[in-house]
Structure 1
Amino acid sequence: MPALIHITEQTHDVLIELVYASENNFTGQVIYEQPLCFMHPQAEACLRQAITGARALGLRLKILDAFRPQAAQEALWAVAPNPDYIADPAVGSNHTRGVALDVTLVDADGLVLDMGTPVDTMHAASHHFHDAHPASVQLNRMKLLTVMLEAGFVHHPREWWHYQLPEAGRFPLLGSHGFMGCVAGR
């Protein structure tokens, strides 16, 4: 099993604000004690391509979540057991495989582009091609989609922010024993 790669703002020229490292997420709870960002090596290679693609548009990526320990997946499911938006931990999440990330775009001033909904909005308005959004929001979503698809990721149709490697289920679920960043379940 390959070691996960630690993603930092310095090593990858991205912004990182892991939503589950604070109470400012749909659970209202801190899920990650430490805001550490990790990815599978194949996903990290695609991330580097996406960083270059965003830069070509005068934008940067902001990572909101990446590898998610099993205990964290269980904590999310406990609050919102909705398989349309949260992977059942009994089946496994592609985040727990280290091959998925939640991401958005920021402009040259570091301002997040308007994507129409906050991350983890479990509603039709968060679907990639929700046509009730104004053209500016749809354009921003298309920019993100283009950057990520060209880098080798695929999108989740219900979540404008979620991208993963193709055929993500072929990657094994990664154990969370000893993962120091998770406090779920305390």
Structure 2
Amino acid sequence: MKSNFLIFILIISIAGFSQVKPLSVKKLVVVNSYSQYLASIKKNPNNELIEIKKVIPSIKLDIRYATKNNFMKQVMYKQARALARKPVVESLKKIQAELKKKSLGLMIFDGYRPYATTVAFYKKASDKNFVANPAKGSKHNRGCAVDLTIINLKTGKEISMPTPYDSFSAAAAAKYEKVSPEIKKNRDFLIATMAKYQLNVLENEWWHYDFSGWQNYDLMDIPFEKI
């Protein structure tokens, strides 16, 4: 009788497990249709990817991924362009105006980045902590992140920062302490100025800034030449 009862319990348990549904995995949505992108702009004008240089002519560009001067050591972009969603560009315009009062300005290394490029970065990067995981996508893929630094408008040269752009070293962190007082002042000034206009620094990259509300924008995989 006891053995029959145990068998009954076992059958009930197996039946219960068989009815448990596997956890659903949210599918990553990446916009790769230009028509779909245009439709999103009609729905919300803020979705438009804007050419930063056209809105802010005084801004300087150094698009490393359109050259071989980057950690990939190969050309990743066919065009040396910097784009971002409309609200991001509006913030950058305000930042540029504020910096100009101090004879300073922004130099942009990267803005919108097609999703396919993020996939390529992740495959090749030696330190995955410095590149976005394609499983989640990058804020760059959403047009809501910019990589940049500050230049002296009179000389056109970059002001001193803890590391070069795209350094995979510990010193690239936004709060890294073992730097000179001058460099710390420069880095912290950049971080604070960007934050005033809803662009927040990435913890391990002093040059990377994410726009507040990036969650409202889709990941995209549309090449520069189609925009």
TM-score normalised per structure 2: 0.74
Tell me the secondary structure at the aligned position of residue 8 of structure 1: helix
Match of 1:59 in 2: 104
Aligned residue in 1 for 2:195: 149
Aligned to 1:131: 177
Any residues of structure 2 matched to 1:1-186 within 5 Å, and which?
1=40, 2-8=47-53, 11-80=56-125, 82-108=127-153, 109-176=155-222, 178-180=223-225
Q: Residues 146 and 83 (structure 1 numbering): CA distance in 2 closer, same or farther, change over 3 Å? A: same
Q: Which has the larger radius of gyration?
A: 2
**Contact 2:56–2:93 (8 Å) recurs in 1:** no
Q: CA deviation at 1:11?
A: 3.8
**Deviation of 1:82 (Å):** 4.0
What do residues 6-65 of structure 1 show as CA deviations (whole Å, max 9, x unaligned)? 122774310001111111111111101110111101111111111112112220100000
Moved more, 136-145 or 166-175: 166-175
Alignment correspondent of 2:15? none
Is the alpha carbon distance of 1:171 and 1:81 closer, same or farther for their aligned partners in structure 2, counting shifts above 3 Å? farther
1:145, CA displacement in angstroms? 1.0
Identity %: 28
Aligned partners of 1:50 and 1:147 also within 8 Å: yes
In the alignment, the residues of structure 2 paired with residue 57 and residue 129 of structure 1 have an alpha-carbon distance, to the nearest angstrom, of 24
Map of 1:184 onto structure 2? none
Q: Which 4+ residue blocks in structure 1 deviate beyond 3 angstroms?
A: 9-12
TM-score (norm 1): 0.90
Could you tell me how far apart the structure 2 residues matched to 1:26 and 1:13 are?
27
* Unaligned runs of at least 5 residues, structure 1: 182-186
Letter paired with 2:59: V
2:170 is matched by which residue type in structure 1? Answer: A
User: One-letter code of the match for 1:145?
Assistant: I
Aligned residues: 180
**More relative contact order, 1 or 2 (CA 8 Å, 6+ apart):** 1
Q: Which runs of 5+ in 2 are unaligned?
A: 1-39, 41-46
Letter paired with 2:85: H
- Answer 1 or 2: which has greater helix percent: 2
- Could you tell which deviates more after superposition, 71-80 or 22-31? 71-80
